[in-house]
Amino acid sequence: MEASKHEGAYYSGNYRNLLLDYGYDEEDIAVRVEQTWQLLFGDNEATRIYYPVGDDMGYMLDTGNDDVRTEGMSYGMMMAVQLGHKDIFDRLWRWTYKHMFMSSGENAGYFAWSCNKDGTKRAHGPAPDGEEYFALALFFASNRWGDGPSPMDYGAKARELLHACVHKGEDGIGYPMWNPYNKLIKFIPNCEYTDPSYHIPHFYELFSLWANEEDRTFWKEAAAASRDYLRVACHQETGLAPEYSFYDGTPNDERGYGHFFSDSYRVAANIGLDAEWFGSNEWMRQQTDRIQAFFADKQPDDYRRYKISGEPFEEKSLHPVGLVATNAMGSLAHPEGAHAKASVQLFWNTPVRTGDRRYYDNCLYLFAVLALSGRFKIWLS
């Protein structure tokens, strides 16, 4: 792997504590990290999204939809491995593997994206953003804690999952999660369009190290393809990306998902973490500047759905706290940017969300706390 202009933590081993660099006190930062974890994973009913089940399982609740999603389960596993909570990680993984894993049918080898709280499936199809987070969280767990008996053979389970993501359908049954020709992740396996927020090239760089050997070139190419794709999917003036888009980056307006809305918020965070891990480049810095400038004169309680060219709709944002968090996390790509420090200050002054819609916002919030404090790390073997 070649380092880009600004060396990333993968090469240097050094993770920037951007909060500290911006003048926040290290003790206050550590307190914020721990408090945020406790608010999400503790017993505060106004903010919690994690719920233990029995002696050895637990789930992350999408409080807005009253279901359990692979998105949230994989996010929770990533949070747990980053902060060293093996018990919580294993509880989430046991629940996931017992209730969400599909062992038969065209989606065998994938995870059902939505389940009820009792574990019964609400859907029998997968969502690729969950699979990619599961895979990396499992690799990190393997590297940090070592493997155990199935299903705690974390590394083997990650490799099996990535094998399915690439090779599913070669026997005529089912579909892969990545297009085999352009190497771009799909929105769902049996469609031919994508979601910009699913593109996490810094994950694929690590998959190219730890996946089955025959697939490592694929993942290296997928990382390059996703970085190229994001350049055309993000608007060249506003920095906004659509929720769904075609492979050429143009918005896919199917059911109104060609606009900047909830899924899209993650793009800025993904670019920020990619820059932190593998280095920034000029486009990443410009992209961060554009999206932060777009929101600089807007207040979170007035965030809306937007066309990617910037025209607002009447519809308010469902997750304004999440958007504050992701825009702040984007500052990792350009800490000296005109609005970088102000974006982080807005985030620091914003509390975690309460109420029915808190799940998505608070997941993005904890990821931002981890990344901005230098605690969202690559766990190497």
d(Cα 13, Cα 280) in Å, to the nearest integer? 15
Task: Measure the CA–CA gap between 67 and 319, rounded to whole angstroms.
Answer: 17
Q: Are 325 and 365 in contact (CB under 8 A)?
A: yes
Backbone angles phi, psi at 68, to 5 degrees: -115, 125
Dist. CA 77–CA 368, nearest whole Å: 16
User: Chain-centre distance of CA 121, in angstroms?
Assistant: 23
Query: Helix, strand or coil for residue 311?
Result: coil
| Angle ∠(342,349,305) on CA atoms, nearest 5 | 70
Structure tokens at 290: 């554009």
Distance CA 96, CA 115 (A): 10
For the CA atoms of the chain, what is the radius of gyration? 19
Q: Select which of 62, 215, 263, 274 is catalytic.
A: 263
Backbone angles phi, psi at 105, to 5 degrees: 85, -175
Question: Residue 281: phi, psi to the nearest 5?
Answer: -135, 180
Distance of alpha carbon 74 from alpha carbon 138, whole angstroms: 9
62 bridge partner residues: 67
Cross-strand pairs, 168 = none
Phi, psi of 104, deg, nearest 5 = -145, 165
Catalytic residue among 67, 71, 243, 289: 71
Query: Residue holding tokens 């914003």?
Result: 350
Question: What does the alpha-carbon distance between residue 27 and residue 369 come to, in Å, rounded to a whole number?
Answer: 14
Within a 10 A sphere around the Cβ of 186, how many other Cβ atoms?
20
Whether 263 is catalytic is yes
Q: Are 1 and 355 in contact (CB under 8 A)?
A: no
Active site residue 253: no
Which helix (H) or strand (E) segment is 381 a member of?
Answer: none
> Which of left, alpha, beta for 169 (phi over 0: left; psi -120 to 50: alpha)?
left
Catalytic residue positions?
71, 263
